[in-house]
């Protein structure tokens, strides 16, 4: 028991001022952790808004599609047929444009164990990073019914925010959105 005590020494508040703190154990020898007895551990993590914008401020909500945006949507639509959506039937395709001009494609890949799947946007991001690209100029996403926008999920928005600024054009069927407008306060360390 003393080895266990040495490991935990310093994590429990000792209000008595004595150095020899007795661990609170129940009659069977299990550790009792009453509310308020664990010390807060200092850390250096800080969260911040990557966009630096207040909600509803700064970036435009949506811009109209132009010819270049429509062409990228067609690429995303064409790759969508390769999606593996055996369980939901909801196929998604993404076309991510690297700063180099290279277009990286991704599709959603489902799995019987749902958390093991991946969205099209993150699949395209993985392909790009694997190829050595880490700066991007636009992404087009197509999924579901034709003509309906397929907004990226929160995880994909956050994954894109890791590599892209709030001005990244996110091209959907109904217009072009800035990433910062879809995720105004992304998490960053």
**What are the structural domains, with CATH classification, of the chain?**
1-42 (no CATH), 67-182 (3.40.140.10)
The pLDDT assigned to 1 comes to 45
| Whole-number percent of the chain with pLDDT over 90 | 62
The pLDDT assigned to 87 comes to 95
Could you tell me which residues come within 8 angstroms of residue 32 by beta carbon, excluding any fewer than 6 positions away? 24, 25, 26
> Catalytic residue among 121, 133, 148, 167, which?
121
pTM of the model: 0.71
- Give per-residue pLDDT as tens, 46-78: 444 444 555 445 666 899 999 999 999 999 999
| Separation in Å, CA 169 to CA 29, 59, 63, 74, 165 | 59, 11, 9, 16, 10
pLDDT band for 12, please (50, 70, 90 cuts): very low
pLDDT band for 24, please (50, 70, 90 cuts): low
Alpha-carbon span 74 to 15, nearest angstrom:
67
Alpha-carbon span 145 to 46, nearest angstrom:
40
Could you tell me which residues come within 8 angstroms of residue 145 by beta carbon, excluding any fewer than 6 positions away? none
The pLDDT assigned to 57 comes to 57
Q: What is the mean pLDDT of the chain?
A: 82
- Give per-residue pLDDT as tens, 156-167: 999 999 999 999
Strand order across the beta sheet in which 103-107 lies: 103-107, 92-98, 136-143, 169-172, 175-178
User: Which has the higher per-residue pLDDT, 186 or 92?
Assistant: 92
The pLDDT assigned to 47 comes to 45
The pLDDT assigned to 146 comes to 83
Residue 85: half-sphere exposure toward Cβ, Cα within 13 Å:
17
Q: Contact, 97 vs 103, CB < 8 A?
A: yes
- Give per-residue pLDDT as tens, 86-132: 999 999 999 999 999 999 999 999 999 989 999 999 999 999 999 99
Tokens for 168, please give them.
């990244």
Catalytic residue list contains 121: yes
| Whole-number percent of the chain with pLDDT over 70 | 71
Of 159, 149, 120, 185, nearest to 62 by C-alpha is 149
């Amino acid at each position: 028991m003393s080895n266990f005590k040495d490991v935990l020494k310093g994590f429990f508040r000792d209000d008595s001022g004595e150095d020899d703190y007795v661990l609170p154990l129940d009659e069977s020898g299990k550790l009792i952790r009453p509310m308020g007895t664990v010390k807060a551990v200092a850390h250096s993590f800080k969260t911040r808004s990557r966009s630096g914008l207040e909600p509803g401020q700064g970036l435009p909500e949506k811009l109209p599609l132009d010819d270049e945006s429509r062409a990228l949507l067609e690429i995303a639509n064409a790759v969508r047929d390769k999606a593996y959506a055996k369980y939901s039937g909801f196929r998604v395709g993404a076309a991510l444009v690297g700063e180099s001009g290279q277009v990286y494609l991704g599709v959603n890949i489902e799995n019987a164990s749902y958390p093991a799947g991946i969205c099209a946007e993150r699949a395209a991001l993985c392909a790009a990073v694997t190829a050595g690209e880490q700066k991007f100029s636009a992404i087009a996403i197509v999924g579901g019914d034709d003509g309906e926008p397929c907004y990226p999920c929160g995880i994909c928005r956050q994954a894109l925010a890791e590599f892209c600024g709030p001005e990244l054009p996110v091209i959907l069927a109904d217009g072009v959105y800035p990433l910062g407008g879809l995720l105004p306060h992304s998490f960053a360390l």
